[in-house]
């Protein structure tokens, strides 16, 4: 079968769609917030309806480069970039 020009257009479209799904699934693979005693209060506050942006502001108390839990070298955002939306990338675990 000979592939016509308009078929190539559809093949290209499928490649793009698959690529977008792949990119989205990459975000979901990011490590989730551990369900342990250090992070429990965030799960509880979130269940009580507290906003994620407010909770994000509390992560740097422990997660910081000045003696706290350091970020990996290849972390996509650094504290110097300004306020970090931790929970936008690191989701809560489903129970
Ligand atoms: C009381 C201190 C403390 C606070 C506050 C805190 N963390 Fe952590 N976090 C830790 C420590 C210590 C570790 C590493 C060891 C562990 O998993 O408990 C960690 C590990 C993590 C990890 C890596 C988990 C893994 O699988 O390797 C993520 C993601 C994380 N925290 C996200 C957050 C987010 C998001 C917030 C804010 C909502 C937050 N943390 C607030 C202490 C804290
Ligand atoms: C733009 C998305 C994004 C944001 C915002 C973000 N992270 Fe991450 N973080 C990642 C990615 C990607 C990794 C690489 C490893 C992984 O989790 O899969 C990572 C890794 C980590 C790790 C190390 C996990 C391990 O043990 O390998 C910790 C701890 C962490 N992030 C905490 C935080 C905290 C706390 C904040 C907010 C102050 C934050 N992150 C904001 C995307 C993000």
Distance 22 CA to ligand 1 centre (A): 26
Which CATH number is 32-95 given? 1.10.1130.20
Residues in contact with ligand 2 by the CB-under-6-Å rule are 30-31, 59-60, 63, 69, 71-72, 75-77, 84-86, 88-90
What is the helix (H) or strand (E) element at residue 28, kind and residue range?
Answer: helix 5-28
- On the question of pLDDT at 15 being above 60, the answer is yes
40: Cβ contacts below 8 Å, ≥ 6 apart = none
Model pLDDT, residue 93: 92
Model pLDDT, residue 86: 96
Q: Where are the domains of the chain?
A: 1-30, 32-95
- Asked if 68 contacts 43 with a C-beta cutoff of 8 angstroms, the reply is no
pTM of the model: 0.83
Query: Which carries the bigger pLDDT value, residue 87 or residue 1?
Result: 87
- State which of 72, 79, 80 you would mutate to test the pocket of ligand 2, scoring each by most atoms of that ligand within 8 A of its C-beta: 72
Model pLDDT, residue 60: 93
pLDDT, tens digit, for every residue of 48-92? 999 999 999 999 999 998 899 999 999 999 888 888 999 999 999
- Asked if 76 contacts 18 with a C-beta cutoff of 8 angstroms, the reply is no
């Amino acid at each position: 079968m000979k592939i016509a020009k308009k078929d190539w257009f559809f093949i290209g479209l499928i490649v793009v769609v698959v690529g977008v799904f792949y990119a989205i699934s990459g975000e979901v693979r990011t490590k989730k917030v551990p369900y342990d005693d250090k992070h429990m209060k965030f799960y509880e506050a979130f269940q009580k309806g507290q906003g994620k942006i407010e909770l994000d502001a509390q992560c740097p108390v422990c997660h910081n480069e000045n003696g706290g839990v350091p970020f990996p070298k290849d972390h996509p955002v650094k504290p110097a970039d300004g306020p970090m939306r931790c929970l936008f990338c690191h989701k809560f675990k489903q129970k």
